Structures are given as C-alpha cells and as structure tokens.
Structure 1
Amino acid sequence: MGLDSQESSEHLRSIFKALGDPIRLRLFSLLTHEELCVCHLTESLKLPQSTVSRHLGVLRSAGLVSTRREGKWMHYRLAEDVPKQLIEMAGPLADRPADGERGECSSLA
C-alpha cells in the first residue's frame, strides 16, 4: 500500500468514525441543508452547547465541516470537498425546523 493510498485510507476512516456517532451524524445531516449557528444546533438537538461544540470539533477534524465567526457566534457549514453522495445520503436524516420556527441567536443566549 503506497503512502497516498494509506493517507486516503486514514482520511476515509476518520470520516466514517466521525459519522459513526448518532449525534455527529445528526449534526452533519442538519448542515446538509444550510449553514447553522451553534445556538441553532443546540436548540435542534436539545443538548448543551459544550456537547454540541465537542462533536462539531470532531466533524471539523475529519474535514467534514468548516466554520466562520460572526460576533460571538460560530457558524458551521459543510466543507466544500464533502462528497455529494454523502450529502445526499445524510440530508434526509435531519428534521429541519419550519421557516420562522428558529429564533435569533441573541434571544437564545
């Protein structure tokens, strides 16, 4: 096994390990639809912010999500190089909030 294929194998293993956890799979699924703030993800999952942030860190380390900061809030979105097939499989797993159902981050602080 060459170095390139070994690196590819390690990367693939990290992706499957990251998505093997039900919470991380749900986070990934929610992000297939749109960029979301941590506050919206914690609201959707009904989990503490620290738990959601820890799981998002694993997804980020696996190269599945990227971030941008807006004020004090971190916004997460899928990384640009996530395979389309993975997005298509995971997308239907998420229950998206109805339009207008989600509050503003400042009101959730």
Structure 2
Amino acid sequence: MEARVRLSDCEISGVDSFGLRRADQPGRTGLFRPRQSLIEAETEQIVSEEQIEVETEQIKAETEQIGAETEQIKAETEQIGAETEQIRAETEQIGVLALARNSS
C-alpha cells in the first residue's frame, strides 16, 4: 500500500543534510506531519480555550448568584433574630404580668 502526500500539504519539522527529520526524534528521516492534522490540533486547542472562557463566565455568574442568595439569607436571618427578640420581650412581659396577677 502506497501513500502519497503532497509536500505543500505538510509542515516540515526540520531539514538537514540528510533530508527531512522530525524535531522530537532527531535522526529519523522522512517523517513529517500533515498540515491538516496541525490545523485540527490548533482548532481543538482554540475550542478548548473558548470552552474555558465560557465556563469561567458561567462560574462567575453562578458565584454572583450565590453571593446574592447569601445576602438574602443574611437579611432573613437578621429578620428572624429581630422577631426572636420581640418574642422574648413579649414573653418577659407576659411573665411580669403573671407575677403581678399572682401577687395581688
């Protein structure tokens, strides 16, 4: 089986007096990577970087939402605290009235 690749469709890693060689494996000749696979690899990297940006923005939005919900919970907690204090004051007043009633 013979495969033919046009040199214009490839990126040559390096050329020396022995011919073509791969940069990551010096000394091996006749090895080159098709330009299409390089484009695909770069496209995948760009898509990955874009996906990271999208996910980062999503995380920021979720963080802001959590912050808003936290503020709402704080406000509700303060309201519950105020209501609890009011109930305590009313309970004390009832107790004072009960003591006054029993002592008369």
Give TM-score, length-normalised by structure 1.
Answer: 0.21
Q: Which has the higher helix share?
A: 2
